[in-house]
Structure 1
């Protein structure tokens, strides 16, 4: 019998399967290319620490650590958070599509009423610390009634109903993201795009594409994310002059997504170029404007700068941007929580552990359910609780307990 593959050989096999270079994978886990070569070749004898294995697992889309180590079976979902308590009911609502046979069950409402309910649901998401729990109470009925509105209408009203359904699916993706249900993310993203195309509404289409780009990038398919993004922007550009402020904001949001994807791929020049272009679009928006679907606004650009620097593993730049943006007044609680997690990641690059803990505590205060389901936050909290400075461990363990980690 041949000897079992080493950790390094397993990493190399999984990396090649993903079509990823050593340079890209090393950048995603914050290590040098020489370190990655040493691990894969076996020149470095010691196994990577748990925190690094978890970063590798995320980058390589691994479900269980045993795929990397050959032993110690630990589901990676432990570090992405448990499934939300209401996930099953939301899944049922996503799957329950009205059929043409028989009389569909649900509430047939004017589209203006559905529009008001959807807008109220977005406001609930942004203002609630427990935003997933709050959305779970609204989504099943909203999905059912939006699907029914499309089913029972024709002509212009059907197109308007499809635009509402596409945006309802976008809100649903906000709920199912970071849950142990990747199939739902793709189902919702695909249905949103179909409904948006049926609507013929450039705003609905841009919204659906924005969510689809997220799904492709989070799966590691940067080529598809960029291609879809660019195709959508080419289709939207002719409508910008008469599209209003919301479509202009979507143009800015999609411009930044090109930069985000480039940062994930390690292309610093392209990432910062698109961030700068998005900033010029944001400057054309009203000062108090904040888009509910994408958070695009003037105020979000400083937060986006932190994300770009962190994804590029630029330690000094990420710390500088975090200093500029740590208290930026983002009106959405979950988006503010996510931004503070990015600030914590910036401090983590500089190994400033007290600052990491402080940023995570602020994120927990802003949006506990954002922290609970964020893999980066959970890994940093676990690392601090297990191996951080002794004077920080009590606070770190309290935080780990709050977000459902067993230390």
Structure 2
């Protein structure tokens, strides 16, 4: 999901260190936590903030940007011409204006509405949209083309529902359409729009009374909170724990999708704990998620979260990476089989997590090679992923000419450097 993209209103001149301190405190992050995230000591961070040591090289600046989740490197450097690259917010998809227009439009309640499609018909369209997303290399383009009509039609179905049962069914479909929209809006330069859709999805799911819809909406809301920074980790945990308390009593005899979304929520708890640096809690939640995955049918793959047996290996890589354990991340990457992940964007995301692990372990050549594989699987996943963009840019400043050329070629392919 995108980070809080509101620029910090600095008054120049401020040093690099002062900017780091302001952004760190704004995030509610201690020096100890920032130091752990960038692989240095808290005293080193203190020296940087006080200006007692020189501004770090680009590679370390990118790591600090990643840890603080700033919108643009200029927020750290103060130089508007020094790589104004939105690391965690993509450049904006060409279909974003059309999707935003439908989301922002106030739905008409007039009598001139056309007849709404039945909820079952809409649900079939949503299922086809998920399938198309998983199979398409340019999945945002696919979703961006489908979403305007899907959003309008799902809203219309809710408005025209004639009974409580029809309305609940329509709200369940609408909640899933908003989930599709959240996948499209992730890493786009519209954080307010993302939150608007997140909240609407939660409301539609609650109105539906559908346990699966409620679980999916909570899963997405937890990600939105977590990606807003350390000050919001508790909110992410609260969403997950409250929803698990609701879902877990329903599991005996529950349909497979409800079981799967419960496992996906368990992993979200692991993810947040890992980002907090709590290894024991993170791996404990991962173990519980794996127990749920083992109860799923062998070939099952949850259409929204990708939760399944095969994806647990990829999830293990993510936990290790977020814990900044490079060696463990590489070990988990070697054990995980990406080829069994059927979703192209999820497979690309796994490759990006592998690349992060290689970078943490000092294996930059392997990191770049893995990102090339991610590009082949789903170009739009790497193009809009801040971690991938950061690793590629770091590679363009490498001492090795071969590595610089390789990174520059990839940077051109994903659109962050001109040809």
**Length-normalised TM-score, structure 2:** 0.92
Instruction: Say whether residues 1:380 and 2:388 are aligned partners.
Output: no
The structure showing larger relative contact order (alpha-carbon pairs under 8 Å, at least 6 residues apart) is: 2
- CA deviation after TM superposition for structure 1 residue 152, in Å: 0.5
Output aligned runs, 1:293-312, within 5 Å.
Answer: 293-312=304-323
In structure 1, the gaps of 5 or more residues are none
CA pair 174-265 structure 1, distance change in 2 beyond 3 A: same
Match of 1:178 among 187, 193, 199: 187
Match of 2:26 among 12, 17, 42: 17
- CA deviation after TM superposition for structure 1 residue 184, in Å: 1.4
1:32-70 per-position Cα deviation (integer Å, ceiling 9, x unaligned): 333222212333x21022333233334334334343233
56-65 or 119-128: which moved more?
A: 56-65
- CA deviation after TM superposition for structure 1 residue 286, in Å: 0.7
Output aligned runs, 1:116-195, within 5 Å.
Answer: 116-153=124-161, 154-195=163-204
Instruction: Say whether residues 1:98 and 2:107 are aligned partners.
Output: yes
Alignment match, 2:220: 211
Indicate the SS of the match to 1:85. coil
23-32 or 362-371: which moved more?
A: 23-32
Alignment match, 1:60: 68
Deviating beyond 4 angstroms after TM superposition, the runs of 4 or more aligned structure 1 residues are none
CA pair 59-97 structure 1, distance change in 2 beyond 3 A: farther
- CA deviation after TM superposition for structure 1 residue 372, in Å: 0.4
Alignment match, 1:257: 268
Instruction: Say whether residues 1:238 and 2:238 are aligned partners.
Output: no
Contact 1:275/1:305 (<8 A) preserved:
yes
Indicate the SS of the match to 1:161. helix
Indicate the SS of the match to 1:386. coil
In structure 2, the gaps of 5 or more residues are 1-10
Indicate the SS of the match to 2:54. coil
Match of 2:404 among 375, 393, 401: 393
392-401 or 289-298: which moved more?
A: 392-401
Contact 1:226/1:258 (<8 A) preserved:
yes
Equivalenced residues, count: 404
Match of 2:361 among 338, 341, 350: 350
| Cα distance in structure 2, aligned partners of 1:319 and 1:214 | 24
Indicate the SS of the match to 2:143. helix
| Cα distance in structure 2, aligned partners of 1:55 and 1:184 | 27
Alignment match, 1:71: 79
Instruction: Say whether residues 1:28 and 2:34 are aligned partners.
Output: no
Indicate the SS of the match to 1:396. helix
CA pair 215-107 structure 1, distance change in 2 beyond 3 A: farther
1:242-298 per-position Cα deviation (integer Å, ceiling 9, x unaligned): 321111111100011000000111111111111111111111111111001101000
Alignment match, 1:276: 287
Instruction: Say whether residues 1:108 and 2:116 are aligned partners.
Output: yes
**Length-normalised TM-score, structure 1:** 0.94
CA pair 385-210 structure 1, distance change in 2 beyond 3 A: same
Instruction: Say whether residues 1:288 and 2:288 are aligned partners.
Output: no
Output aligned runs, 1:1-12, within 5 Å.
Answer: 4-12=13-21
Alignment match, 1:49: 57
| Cα distance in structure 2, aligned partners of 1:66 and 1:35 | 22
Alignment match, 2:98: 89
CA pair 62-337 structure 1, distance change in 2 beyond 3 A: same
Contact 2:87/2:385 (<8 A) preserved:
no
| Cα distance in structure 2, aligned partners of 1:56 and 1:242 | 47
CA pair 140-107 structure 1, distance change in 2 beyond 3 A: farther
| Cα distance in structure 1, aligned partners of 2:155 and 2:342 | 30
CA pair 339-3 structure 1, distance change in 2 beyond 3 A: closer
CA pair 97-292 structure 1, distance change in 2 beyond 3 A: farther
- CA deviation after TM superposition for structure 1 residue 107, in Å: 5.6
- CA deviation after TM superposition for structure 1 residue 326, in Å: 5.3
1:167-215 per-position Cα deviation (integer Å, ceiling 9, x unaligned): 1100110000011111111011000000011111111101100010110
Indicate the SS of the match to 2:303. coil
Contact 1:264/1:311 (<8 A) preserved:
yes
Contact 2:313/2:337 (<8 A) preserved:
no
